[in-house]
Amino acid sequence: MPLDQGIVRIGEKVTDPVTGLPLLEDNLLVDNLTATTDIGTEDWADLIYPVKKLRVLKDIQLLGTNGKTASFTILKQEFSQTEHVPEPGAVTGLLAIGSLSVGAMLKRHFGKKA
Element (H, E) at 73: strand 69-80
pTM over cut 0.75: no
Paired with 10 in beta bridges are: 30, 60
- Contact indicator for 66, 76 with CB cutoff of 8 Å: no
Radius of gyration over alpha carbons of the chain, in Å?
28
- The model's pLDDT over 31-65, given as tens digits with 9 standing for 90+, comes to 776 655 555 566 678 889 888 889 888 888 888 87
Per DSSP, the residues of 96-114 read: HHHHHHHHHHHHHHHHHH-
- Strands 7-15, 53-63: pairing is antiparallel
Q: For residue 104, what pLDDT is reported?
A: 82
Mean pLDDT of 97-104: 84
